[in-house]
Amino acid sequence: MDDWQNGGFDLYLHWPFCQSKCPYCDFNSHVAESIDQSRWKRAYLVEIDRIAAETPGRVLLSVFFGGGTPSLMEPGL
């Protein structure tokens, strides 16, 4: 079992969308006129369920949203 599966852990969720692409940005980010946020939500939930199944008994310590511009996510997401 790898070390990341043994103790508490942190979760990073990547939101790869921006209103504009900054010229200095090296992150995986994209400008999109429309985003199917419900599809992204479903994908996040599937991935979170998979991680939970692989890490029984582990404690999730924090969730970090990065990107892109995660503030573009709908509040209910």
Q: Using one digit for the tens of pLDDT, what is the confidence trace for 14-61?
A: 999 999 999 999 999 999 889 999 999 999 999 999 999 988 888 889
pLDDT (0 to 100) of residue 66: 92
- Between residues 42 and 7, the one the model is more confident about: 42
Residues 58/7, Cβ–Cβ less than 8 Å: yes
- pTM for this predicted structure: 0.76
- Compute the Cα dihedral for 16, 18, 22, 23 and give only its sign: positive
pLDDT (0 to 100) of residue 4: 59
15 CB-side CA count, 13 A: 19
Tell me, what DSSP letter sits at residue 6?
T
